[in-house]
């Protein structure tokens, strides 16, 4: 067996050292070595997007990344999205718009939405649908998910506007 190696990476803001085999995918290491089981395994061939995480700010499917490649990288997983006990506006919008049934695809959708809104804070419905084409849901159809995505964009924008308004008045 190929020798295990140490990989130094940052996951959800914490420096992490991992001992892993070259053949292990990032998805396997997150779930099996680190117990970060919020990232889901769907198809394991890059089609479904359930295992989406952010690697250096970009959405990637962790089933098609070798853990070795995470050396020096900054990773964000679903476990890092809520801050303390507070859900992120994206999570809140998914909850309130009932944008999930079985929930397997949801962490992937939330990570892709996070990347979308970082790039394009106020997407049109079409832009959102195209951006999220690499995330599949087999329960709900996509209407509620897209509604939640557009709603989370509005929540983020109004939170930011309120914060800026607050700064002006202070």
Partner 1 sequence: MRDFDYSAPTSVAEAVRLLNQNPGAGRPMSGGTDLIDQIRLGRHQPDLVVDIKRIPELNILELSSRGLRLGSAVPCCRIYGDPGISADYAALVDSARIIGGIQIQSRASVGGNLCNSGPAADSIPSLIALGARAVIAGPSGMREVPVEEFCTGPGKNILQRGEVLVELRFPPRAPHSGSHYRRFIPRNEMDIAVVSVGAVVELEANGDKIRSARIALGAVGPTPLYAREASQILVGKTPGPEAFDLAAKAAQAITTPIDDMRGTKEFRRHVAGVLVHRALEECVQRARKLA
Residues 6+ apart with CB under 8 A from 104: 40, 42, 50
Nearer to partner 1, 82 or 130 (CB): 130
Looking at residues 79 to 108 of the shown chain, list those that interact with partner 1 (rule: CB under 8 A): none
Cβ-contact 116, 94 below 8 angstroms: no
**45 interacts with partner 1 by CB under 8 A:** yes
Q: How far is CA 42 from CA 11, 24, 31, 38, 57, in A?
A: 21, 16, 13, 12, 22
Report the residue from 33, 37, 44, 101 that binds partner 1 according to the rule CB under 8 A. 44
Place of tokens 């998910």: 145
**21 interacts with partner 1 by CB under 8 A:** yes
From the CB of 23, what's the least distance to partner 1, in Å? 5
From the CB of 109, what's the least distance to partner 1, in Å? 12
Applying CB under 8 A, the span of 81-89, 90-98, 109-117, 144-152 interacting with partner 1 comes to: 109-117
Residues near partner 1 (CB under 8 A): 1-3, 5, 21-25, 44-47, 49, 52, 55, 58-61, 63-66, 68-69, 71, 112, 115-116, 130-135
């Amino acid at each position: 067996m190929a020798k295990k190696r140490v990989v130094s990476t940052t996951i959800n803001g914490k420096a992490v050292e991992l001992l892993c085999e070259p053949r292990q995918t990032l998805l396997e290491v997150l779930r099996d070595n680190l117990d970060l089981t919020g990232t889901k395994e769907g198809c394991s061939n890059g089609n479904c997007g359930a295992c989406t995480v952010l690697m250096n700010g970009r959405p990637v499917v962790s089933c098609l990344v070798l853990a070795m490649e995470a050396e020096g990288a900054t990773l964000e997983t679903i476990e890092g999205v809520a801050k303390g006990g507070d859900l992120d506006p994206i999570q809140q919008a998914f909850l309130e718009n009932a944008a999930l049934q079985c929930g397997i695809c949801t962490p992937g959708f939330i990570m892709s939405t996070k990347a979308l809104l970082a790039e394009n804070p106020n997407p049109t419905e079409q832009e959102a649908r195209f951006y999220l084409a690499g995330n599949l849901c087999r329960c709900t159809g996509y209407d509620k998910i897209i509604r939640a995505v557009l709603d989370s964009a509005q929540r983020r924008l109004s939170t930011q506007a309120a914060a800026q308004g607050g700064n002006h008045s202070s």
